[in-house]
């Protein structure tokens, strides 16, 4: 227990010393705060139509301007953060759970179980992920729940291969052999000994996966098959910006910056977690 706590403190210390990871974490915390208390950052209703103030540039009354229906862009970006982050976390949660299950079973049991599961993973990887998502969405009603499910169900393969590789290494270690000698069953060995030792790479993959899921949701919403108006999403705000790009630059700039900084924050944090968890960096 003391050794685990020491490793945890060492991991936290390395993570906090990484300035880029700390900056990424600060960006993520900011957007979490924005999504948790949107009223603190936006005084207007995101779906309130005001035909008098259509396509107004940024001003004191509307800090980020208005869109083609007179809605406040700041309010829509702020409330869109809640939607985009929700999609990212739920989708990655689904993908991580599936990838973890497949990877653990494949790596631990090996043999025909490994062969069947990995061939299925290879088959899924043959399809370009984004086009696979487009194909599935075409047969479903576009909604936030369908988007989260489809992104999650088409994004687990990388996690599965990562967990399998870690499991193949961990199951050959002495503490697993000792647990088996003491009569521990497969389930106990998997969940008490193998799974905890795969958490670091899983955390890295999940952190980077949130960024990818947010980008995918934004792209789908931009194409009109993701989150549907009037629900604000960074992607469908960009759609309005595309239609008015010549004389309403703010409609594309501000949601684009929100996507940029959020994805950058998750990527920096994920890289920092990977560096902090890498045992080869202990001497630095």
Query: How is residue 165 written in tokens?
Result: 């590789």
The pLDDT value recorded for residue 278 is 65
In this prediction the pTM is: 0.85
DSSP of 29-50, one letter per residue?
HHHHHHHH-GGGT--S-TT---
Provide the residue ranges of all domains of the chain, joining segments of one domain with +.
46-267
The pLDDT value recorded for residue 223 is 83
What are the φ and ψ backbone dihedral angles of 72, each rounded to 5 degrees? -70, 125
Nearest Cα to 240, choosing from 66, 42, 26, 110? 66
Distance CA(137)–CA(149), nearest Å, equals 10
The pLDDT value recorded for residue 280 is 54
- The pLDDT tens digits along the chain (284 residues) read 444 455 566 767 777 788 888 899 999 999 999 988 988 898 889 999 998 989 999 999 899 999 988 999 999 999 999 888 888 899 999 999 999 999 999 999 988 999 999 999 999 888 877 887 887 777 877 778 888 888 998 889 999 999 999 999 888 888 888 888 888 888 888 888 888 888 888 888 899 899 999 998 888 888 888 888 888 889 888 888 888 888 889 999 999 999 999 999 999 998 888 887 765 544 44
Q: What is the CA radius of gyration of the chain?
A: 22
What's the CATH fold of domain 46-267? MetI-like fold (1.10.3720)
């Amino acid at each position: 227990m003391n050794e685990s706590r020491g490793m945890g403190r060492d991991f936290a210390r390395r993570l906090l010393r990484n300035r880029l990871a700390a900056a990424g974490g600060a960006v993520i915390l900011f957007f979490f705060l924005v999504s948790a208390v949107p009223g603190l950052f936006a005084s207007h209703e995101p779906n309130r139509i005001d035909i008098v103030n259509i396509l107004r540039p940024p001003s004191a009354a509307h800090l980020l301007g208005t869109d083609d229906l007179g809605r406040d862009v700041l309010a829509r970006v702020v409330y869109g953060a809640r939607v985009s982050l929700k999609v990212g976390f739920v989708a990655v949660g689904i993908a991580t759970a599936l990838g973890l299950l497949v990877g653990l079973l494949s790596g631990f049991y090996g043999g025909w179980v490994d062969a069947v599961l990995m061939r299925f993973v290879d088959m899924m990887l043959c399809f370009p992920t984004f086009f696979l998502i487009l194909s599935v969405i075409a047969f479903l009603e576009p909604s936030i729940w369908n988007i989260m499910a489809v992104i999650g169900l088409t994004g687990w393969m990388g996690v599965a291969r990562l967990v399998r590789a870690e499991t193949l290494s961990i199951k050959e270690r002495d503490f697993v052999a000792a647990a088996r000698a003491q009569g521990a069953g497969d389930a106990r060995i998997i969940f008490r000994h193998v799974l905890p030792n795969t958490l670091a790479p899983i955390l890295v993959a999940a952190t980077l996966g949130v960024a990818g899921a947010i980008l995918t949701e934004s792209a789908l919403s931009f194409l009109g098959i993701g989150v549907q108006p009037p629900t604000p999403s960074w992607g469908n705000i960009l759609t309005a910006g595309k239609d008015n790009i010549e004389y309403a630059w703010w409609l594309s700039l501000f949601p684009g910056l929100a996507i940029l900084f959020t994805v950058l924050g998750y990527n920096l944090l994920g890289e920092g977690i990977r560096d902090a968890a890498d045992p080869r960096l202990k001497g630095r």
